[in-house]
Amino acid sequence: MRDVRTIIGEPDPHGWRRAFLLGGAGIAAAVAASGTARAQAAYGTRSARSDVPVTHHHTASVEGIGVFYREAGPTDAPVLLLLHGFPTSSHMFRNVIPALADSYRVIAPDYPGFGQSDMPDRATFPYTFDRYADLVDGLLDQLGARRYAMYVMDYGAPVGWRLALRHPDRITGLIVQNGNAYEEGLGAFWDPIKAYWADGSAERRRALNVLVAPATTKFQYTDGVRDVTRIAPDNWVHDQALLDRPGNADIQLDLFYDYRTNLPLYPAVQTYFRQHRPPTLITWGANDQIFPASGAHPFKRDLPDADLHLLDTGHFALEDKLDVMVPLMRDFLAQRVAPRLRGSGPAIR
């Protein structure tokens, strides 16, 4: 595993590492300086323009379901698909999207029942990971995204694995952040959920209501984080407001139950890893109690060339380790993914 200090100390011609270390002001300064230099080269010193990537917010109808998604970057650039976890939405990628969209077409959907996507009635819509994969697949078809790298986190992993098993040749690379493909990663946190899987009883289901309670939502953002001042409270306020919508708790309990269907897929996913060897970057919050680091190490059995970085943080690593993770992602995309995409769009710089 590469020491983070060596990463930060490497040459940084575009100023991104330095900018992220300086925080929001540094990012703004780096972007402004970069934009000004290009503007002066193109137009002289009389004018300057901003090159800050703009994120667009859309809703597409996929099989009659309104699927909200965020999109940024050149439409002819290589595609990076961002798949979110529980209990959040594409909101979790709000900061990383503009950091990558200068050279990538970034697409981040919300699953039904999450974020700004539709929340159809459970009586007519099955809340399952199979169904989510169907809709994300359909959205990508509508958007003409035929090949893409994937960032998978938490629930994003079982959605992404289903896409990879359906279309292995479409996947250009994987960024895995606290998302399981091995049973070693299902520790004590999962015991009450496994008990529910065993009998599906109403009593076991009621016991899981604690997982949609405000204290648990906040816990997911703050547990294992060394400096909680880096975590915006808006995160758990935003997520809890959506969890508290009438009927949403039952949707989440349906998904907890359906999660049992992921484990039988793991052998097929592992076979996919071995046969197709997708370039893989693993950036894992090592202090996460939900998906602990024991779930990160097994990837190296089937993907020995994967870059594995255990970060000193918890479940939602992007919230406090963005300054570390963005340089890792940019380097990975440039060195491991872009060479596979020559001729299909601009390289990642």
Tell me, yes or no, if 315 is annotated catalytic.
yes
Scanning the structure block, which residue is given the tokens 């100023």? 15
**Cis peptide upstream of residue 87 (ω within 30 degrees of 0):** yes
Taking the CB of residue 75, how many other CB atoms lie within 10 A of it? Answer: 11
- Options 84, 91, 238, 315, the catalytic residue: 315
Q: Is 14 exposed, middle or buried (0-12, 13-18, 19+ CB in 10 A)?
A: middle
Return the sign of the alpha-carbon dihedral for residues 318, 319, 320, 323: positive
Compute and round to an integer the Cα radius of gyration of the chain.
Answer: 20
SS3 assignment, position 216: helix
CA distances from 47 to 26, 28, 44, 54 (A): 22, 18, 7, 20
Contact criterion met (CB below 8 Å) for 95 and 231: no
Question: Can you give the length of the chain in residues?
Answer: 349
Joined tokens for residue 102:
């200068």
336 DSSP assignment: I
Q: Is 205 exposed, middle or buried (0-12, 13-18, 19+ CB in 10 A)?
A: middle
Give the H or E element holding residue 20.
helix 16-21
CB neighbour list of residue 158: distance below 8 Å, 6 or more residues apart: 129, 179, 259, 262, 265
Amino acid occupying residue 270: Q
Amino acid occupying residue 117: S
Active site residues: 315
